[in-house]
Amino acid sequence: MERKFAIVTDSACDMPEEYYASHDVECVRLGFLMDSVLYGGEDGESIDTHVFYERMRNDKAMPTTHQVNVECAKNHIEKFLSAGRDVLVVAFSSGLSGTANSFFVAAKELSEKYPERKVLVSDSLCASMGEGLYLDYAVRKADTGASLQETYDYLESIKPNICHFFTVDNLFHLKRGGRVSAAVAVVGTLLSIKPVMHVDDEGHLIPIGKAMGRKKSIKALFDKMRETQDMQAGDPVFISHGDCIDDANDLAAMIRGEFPGHEISINFIGPVIGAHSGPGTLALFFKGKHR
């Protein structure tokens, strides 16, 4: 069934490149600066994601990120409005970036320019493939023939149910971003304590537990899923990773063993999120009773 409106998102959702083309989704690129070189965004250089993480590991590169700005957001939305199509925007969590606000400002300004058209922005309050999962539910709903308003209302209703659980292999990058204290980072590294975190109802990263060692931290993600999941037939499961595919596959195997029949998608945590979480981050996303 032909979709009744355009869907725009941003690259913080960490979906595979082929997803955007195959599902007719417009993706606005966030960018980052590393070793004085601009990558991503509208005009930056490209970089292989594995190479990005290798540079963080071996060269100790410290990338800094920048959000989608208002003009960039307007450009990506306006091309649909000028062609006579309404637009749904699925945006990176306002609790972690100003990108959602840029989309809101762009939508307001463009609504004044195109009063006959409609732009709705859904602040996903999600990150990485959690935003990707939220986007995927939008695509699935829209492809049933749902209207723009129906799809937006559906997304808002499931927003509190998009669960994010993740762990990191090295606390340094969370310390650098102010997510943990220097003391916690030092002690945790010495004792091989791995934090278990989630994204809360306001879209912020929140510690919710810890595990001794990598294997136990991966198992902790699976245990959180067992406790929280509320999946129905056909609900997908997403896993993203900071260049640790073996760990992602181990987690996927646990899930397949207990929750067969659910499609599991695995992809890299992109550089914009990975700049803050670091190599070795492992994240799990699914539909649950609550976040």
> Domain 6-159, what fold?
Rossmann fold (3.40.50)
Closest CA to 158 of 107, 90, 84, 102: 90
Give CA–CA dist 159/121, Å, rounded: 13
Beta-carbon contacts of 51 under 8 Å, excluding residues fewer than 6 positions away, are: none
For the whole prediction, is pTM greater than 0.85? Answer: yes
> Domain 161-287, what fold?
Hypothetical Protein Tm841; Chain: A;domain 3 (3.30.1180)
Residue extents of the structural domains in the chain: 6-159, 161-287
What is the share, in percent, of the chain residues with pLDDT greater than 70? 94
pLDDT tens-place string over residues 28-57: 999 999 999 999 999 999 999 999 999 999
3-state helix, strand, coil in the chain (%, to 5): 45, 25, 35
N- to C-terminal Cα distance for the chain?
32
- For residue 195, the model assigns a pLDDT of 86
Tell me the one-letter amino acid at 281. Answer: T
